Amino acid sequence: MRITTRKLLDRAFTLCAYFAVALMTLFLLFVLLPIFGKGAGAYLFTGTVEHRRMLLDQFNRGDAEQFSAEWADVQQARRPIYAAVAAFEKELPGLPAARRKELKASYKEIRVGLGVLLGSEPGKPLPALTRGLYGQTRWDRAQEKVSNILYEETWDYSGGAGKRVLVPRQPLFEGTALAPIFPLLQNNLRDLLHPRFTFYPGFLIDKSIDAHFFGGIGAEVMGTLYLALGAMLIAVPLGIIAAIYFQEYATEGAVLSFLRSCVNTLAGVPSVVFGLFGLAFFINTLHVSPGKSVLAGALTLALLVLPTVIRSSEEAIAAVPRAYKEGALALGAGQWHTILTVILPAALPGILTGTVISMGRAAGETAPIIFTAAVSVGRMIQPSELLTQPTPTLSWNLYNICTEHQAVEEIRHVQYGMAATLVVIVLVLNLTAILLRARVARNLKG
Amino acid sequence: MNTGEHIILSAGEKTRRRIFGLVGRSFLFAVTSVAALAVLAIIFFIARDALPFFHEKGVAAFFFSKAWYPAQSPPQFGAAAIFAGSLLVTAAAVVLVVPPGVCAALCMSDILPFNVRQVLKPVIEMLAAIPSVAYGFFALVVLAPLLQNAGGRVLSVAWWVLALPMLALGSVVAADLLSSQRLSETSYRLVRGLLTFLFLALSLVLIVQTGNRLGALQISSGVNALNAAIILGVMALPTIVSVSEDALQAAGRELREGSYALGATRAETLVKVVVPAAISGIFSAILLGVMRALGETMVVWMASGNAAQIPKPWYNLLQPVRTLTATIAGDMGEADQMTGSAHYHVLFAMGLSLLIFSFFCNLAGEWIVARQRKRLRGG
Amino acid sequence: MRKLLLVAGLVGGCAMAQAQDKLVLDGSTTVGPIAKAFAEYTMRQSPGVNITVSESGSGNGAKALLNGTCDIANLSRHLKDTERKAMEEKGVKPVSHVVAYDALPVIVHPSNKVKGLTIEQIRDIYTGKITNWKDVGGLDQSIVVISRDTNSGTFETFKELVLGKEAKICEGAEYAGSNGAVRQRVQMTNGAIGYAGLGFVDHSVKALEINGIAPCTTTVVDKTYPISRELFMFTNGEPKADSLVAKFIAISRTEKGREIVEEIGFVPVSEKK
């Protein structure tokens, strides 16, 4: 082949390699940017007066005096709407039957829409579900809901595939008592809802109100933390002891290689098989708890991360310079004494790195806890209940609210918030481990 | 200064220490074997609940029949389509991701400067750490609508981006190869020019045709095998890249320096010398990637459509499929183990199949590593 | 001495915490929203109570009641004979309580111009005989069939009332794990058809008329809509008069409970016992 072609191929290959790396980073951004971008929207958003009202009522948070002043303003702005509705109610029975029929269905939707937008009408009986008590807490959702009131959504099937057509309702109600609400809703929505830039850190710690319609993901965060901590409490002692045995005490032979093969195989077992095992062994055979519980979930997760803990602890122990050990032994210390006082402390940062990475893995896993620890609704779990009660968790509940929930579109921001929180927790843990590892490498070199 | 402490141990001291040592060792051994025997317990318990199914229903129907109707009376448990689904999605993920993964590993080990590599390694670890349910959420909420509404266009753009440079390059190389004969200078140039032009024209026609056909594709359902394969590939990518990179690094500088000394370009060195030297490590990497993709549950449960069918034709990734892991996770609810229903046991049978497959993958990986070690030692 | 008192105090505190009332529900994803709303209502009235709700399917709810791992099983279908027999053998006496009525609307994407189908047409679509919307009056678009997982009471009802015992769902049918998942799939996919509880139908999907009758509260109550069913909560034996279980189930008959059911979108039971 001519030299120019070979050079061309070389250049092309280099480009190809760069492209592969760029593709990898692009994928990472492609996956993380929407999650972080919209997930931040669960904590930082334009919130309305309904959000502040909900916080005050449900969580007792906020300045009550300042709020009552604002609420009075909002009530004042809303009065014409409710007055128009009341007037229309009186007017409706008096209308001719044909006109009444025309307006009735649309009016019902407007009533429902007003409730969804502004919350329960003052002076009327409270709705049964909490989601009906408050209007839209987020300004972007509010603007969508307003268009539900102002326009009727119909589908035009004339051209084959149905096309969505928004038919304004205002002309239909021209001349009735309801007419003034339309320009009010169109132009004065800010006065009705007082949108303001809101920072809602409580999203992380508040419990969820009415199936995540309001409130936060506190119960799920606590569940994830308990499960991850529980898994590490079980796996780390077991892992360190096994690593010590492998590195310091075991002699080469069939038994050792068998044990090592077992640990390697354990590392390769699919996560859903761990879940099956947890169900079949911990819950149905050992009966560690009368049903799903954090204990059973932690045991299952501990098994999942055990090989990683063993591997990283072994590496850490092996990386301790032989000089340390030999020095200690030369001074007359016994083997166990050496391990406890010299080797383990020196290997500690490395062991910690592996522990932190495994904790991140345990926090993010879903399949092992589906059958052993996770429920979709529950109060925030108390420490006294850890041995017997299941708990909501970030990983399982993310799946639950983005597939099974009754109103998936309404709580999109909660889904993104949960995904972002979970990813942030795991990434922070991993970053800590990476920094630890860098420090360990520096220490051991110098 | 210590006063009167014995440095030499008495006989009693010695026996006491020996007993402690023995007890201590046994304790350590016991704890370690618990950790190691967990895997045996897993195999035992999964097999224990899986074997009743095979006793009752036999092996043939499970593996070779496509009729999956567990709620019918009488129920049918033909899992062939589900096995096919798992294999299809895993194979597609690996095919999609191994070439760019190995190229990225090559880039990191040989082309990129050291600082960039140090920054890139944490990036890869972060990709690996993202929880699978977050990937599944992304697949369902972002990728599925994208595939459904603009799938044809996305595929055709991807096709153009990949095929144009590759086919153009291929045309030039092919023309060069075909015309290195002993001709006079001008006729050589003429022949080469003509061939290049011919190949380029053909490639262009092929690209445009396929591009248009792809662009006109209507994907009826955004949750399908392609969606799952893409996300599974992204999940397996960090494993493949980091293990391949380790293998490439281990191939040694002498190999590379020798090749450069003989006048090879960097591309030729990497492709013809380094990669073959590290090939067993790369195979291990691919194997690990396969294991990761096969055992993944949440992504396929949320984004593969869960249709127990073998797509027609078998490589049509745009149709929904069902995998073993998603079936276990999704169907476990019905499992009434107290009545010992076959449905409960068949799910454990699937778990057993997954377990056995991963076990064999592990064995294959260990065999490759052992063979490589033997070869390096000079065996 | 102080340490002992501290430990005793902790243990006592834990014991007291354990002695609080708790209620475990498990089962159908259709009844799930109702159960969750009732749970929140109860927990607000009595803050010491802890109620957990799992939604893993009617089949799993029945199994949980059988094993004693739940207090109330939510089911969107009747108990199967096999389940009843297993319960008899174990000494569990299942008592059903109707908490709401439901229709099973067949839903399609709103852009689909088909307005209604007959039960035979639906059966043919689900068994794979009809594969394109143009065969039933729609556009030239392949039908994406979405069904429920086999651990679903909704699926059992659909099979019983529409498909018939012998019919097998076509190979290419996608399976979704819950009502919400079906609704989401149909909402995202132009050519999709699926079925979900009445409480899950909203503006984002279109409910078809079956044999000319549209699903809504009136057609469910007077039983003109051909696919309607009852939603149950099963207990082990008749719940004791003043127990938490009895109070929980009785919510469905109070005015507040009926309002809750209606607001969620299902059809409440009548006031009388």
Q: Are residues A233 and A167 in the same domain?
A: no
Per domain, the residue ranges of chain B are: 1-41, 59-153+221-378
Note the pLDDT of residue A209: 86
Q: Which residues of B touch A334 (CB under 8 A)?
A: 17, 21
As a whole number, mean pLDDT of residues B42-57 equals 87
- The residues near A313 (Cβ < 8 Å, ≥ 6 apart) are A239, A240, A242, A243, A244, A347, A350, A351, A354
Q: Are residues A224 and A188 in the same domain?
A: no
- Find, in chain B, the residue whose alpha carbon is nearest to that of A21: B104
Structural element, H or E, at residue A335: helix A335-338
With b for 16 or more beta-carbon neighbours within 10 A and e for fewer, the B76-93 pattern comes to bbbbbbbbbbbebbbebb
Print the domain residue range for A428. Answer: 218-445
Pick the CATH number of B59-153+221-378 from 2.130.10.10, 1.10.3720.10, 1.10.287.610, 2.40.160.40: 1.10.3720.10
Q: Are residues A184 and A293 in the same domain?
A: no
Q: Are residues A257 and A305 in the same domain?
A: yes
Q: Does C165 touch chain B (CB under 8 A)?
A: yes
Coil vs helix vs strand at A122: coil
Q: Which residue has the higher pLDDT, A380 or C125?
A: C125
B42, B107, B140 ranked by CB distance to A20: nearest:
B107
Q: Are residues A272 and A391 in the same domain?
A: yes
pLDDT band per the 50, 70, 90 thresholds, residue A35: very high
Q: Hey, CA dihedral for C135, C136, C137, C140, is it positive or negative? A: negative
- Find, in chain B, the residue whose alpha carbon is nearest to that of C132: B220
Rounded to an integer, what distance in angstroms lies between the CA atom of residue C120 and that of residue C128? 12
Q: Which of C180, C121, C112 is nearest to C146 (CA)?
A: C180
As a whole number, mean pLDDT of residues B212-231 equals 88
Interface test with A, best of C54, C60, C133 (most A CBs within 10 A): C54
Rounded to an integer, what distance in angstroms lies between the CA atom of residue A423 and that of residue C50? 29
Residue A20 lies in a domain: no
Residue A2 lies in a domain: no
Note the pLDDT of residue A300: 94
Q: Which residues of A touch C260 (CB under 8 A)?
A: 128-129
Count of structural domains, chain A: 2
Q: Does C172 touch chain A (CB under 8 A)?
A: no
Check B333 against C66: CB less than 8 A apart: no
Nearest CA-CA distance, residue B177 and chain A, Å: 6
Note the pLDDT of residue C15: 45
Q: Are residues A233 and A168 in the same domain?
A: no
Q: Which residues of A touch C20 (CB under 8 A)?
A: none
Check C149 against B332: CB less than 8 A apart: no
* Per-residue model confidence as pLDDT tens digits over A276-295: 899 888 888 888 887 788 99
Percent of chain B with pLDDT over 70: 94
C33, C52, C180 ranked by CB distance to A403: nearest:
C180
Q: Which of B149, C108, C185 is nearest to A157 (CA)?
A: C108
Q: Are residues A279 and A423 in the same domain?
A: yes
Check A211 against C33: CB less than 8 A apart: yes
Check B72 against C168: CB less than 8 A apart: yes
- Find, in chain B, the residue whose alpha carbon is nearest to that of C89: B339
CA torsion angle C207 C208 C212 C213 (round to 10)? -20
- Provide the ipTM: 0.89
pLDDT tens for chain C, residues 1 to 273 = 666 555 554 554 444 444 457 888 988 888 988 998 898 888 888 888 888 888 877 877 888 888 788 889 999 888 888 888 888 888 889 999 999 998 889 999 998 888 889 989 999 999 989 999 989 888 888 899 999 877 778 888 888 888 887 788 888 889 888 888 899 889 888 889 999 888 888 888 899 988 888 888 888 888 888 888 889 999 988 888 888 888 898 888 888 888 889 888 888 888 654
Q: Which residues of A touch C202 (CB under 8 A)?
A: 407
Note the pLDDT of residue C224: 86
Could you tell me the CATH number of the domain that includes residue A352? 1.10.3720.10
Q: Are residues A350 and A384 in the same domain?
A: yes
Q: Are residues A255 and A145 in the same domain?
A: no
* Phi, psi (deg, nearest 5) at residue C151: -90, 20
Q: Which residues of A touch C13 (CB under 8 A)?
A: 384
pLDDT band per the 50, 70, 90 thresholds, residue A353: confident
- The residues near B243 (Cβ < 8 Å, ≥ 6 apart) are B281, B282, B284, B285, B288
B66, B148, B221 ranked by CB distance to C174: nearest:
B221
Residue C228's DSSP bridge partners are C103
Structural element, H or E, at residue A359: helix A344-364
Residue A318 lies in a domain: yes
Q: Are residues A226 and A190 in the same domain?
A: no
Q: Are residues A157 and A66 in the same domain?
A: yes
Residue A212 lies in a domain: no
Q: Which residue has the higher pLDDT, B346 or C273?
A: B346
- Find, in chain A, the residue whose alpha carbon is nearest to that of C69: A291
* Per-residue model confidence as pLDDT tens digits over B290-319: 999 999 999 999 999 888 888 888 888 889
Rounded to an integer, what distance in angstroms lies between the CA atom of residue A406 and that of residue C199? 8
As a whole number, mean pLDDT of residues A187-204 equals 90
Residue A88 lies in a domain: yes
Q: Are residues A188 and A223 in the same domain?
A: no
Could you tell me the pTM of the whole model? 0.88
SS (H, E, C) chain B: CCCCCCCCCCHHHHHHHHHHHHHHHHHHHHHHHHHHHHHHHHHHHHHHHHHHHHHHHCCHHHHHCCCEECCCCCCEECCHHHHHHHHHHHHHHHHHHHHHHHHHHHHHHHHCCHHHHHHHHHHHHHHHHCCHHHHHHHHHHHHHHHHHHHHHHHHHHHHHHHHHHHHHHHHHHHHHHHCCCCCCHHHHHHHHHHHHHHHHHHHHHHHHHHHHHHHCCCCCCCCCHHHHHHHHHHHHHHHHHHHHHHHHHHCCHHHHHHHHHCCCCHHHHHHHHHHHHCHHHHHHHHHHHHHHHHCCCHHHHHHCECCCCCCCCCCCCCCCECCHHHHHHHHCCCCCCCCCCHHHHHHHHHHHHHHHHHHHHHHHHHHHHHHHHHHHHCC
Taking each helix axis from N to C end, the angle separating B11-57 and B342-377, rounded to the nearest 10 degrees, works out to: 130
Check C174 against B305: CB less than 8 A apart: yes
Residue A204 lies in a domain: no
Q: Are C231 and C76 in contact (CB under 8 A)?
A: yes
Q: Does C256 touch chain A (CB under 8 A)?
A: yes
Q: Does C21 touch chain A (CB under 8 A)?
A: no
As a whole number, mean pLDDT of residues A105-126 equals 86
Order of strands across the sheet with C144-148? Answer: C174-176, C144-148, C192-195, C106-108, C206-207
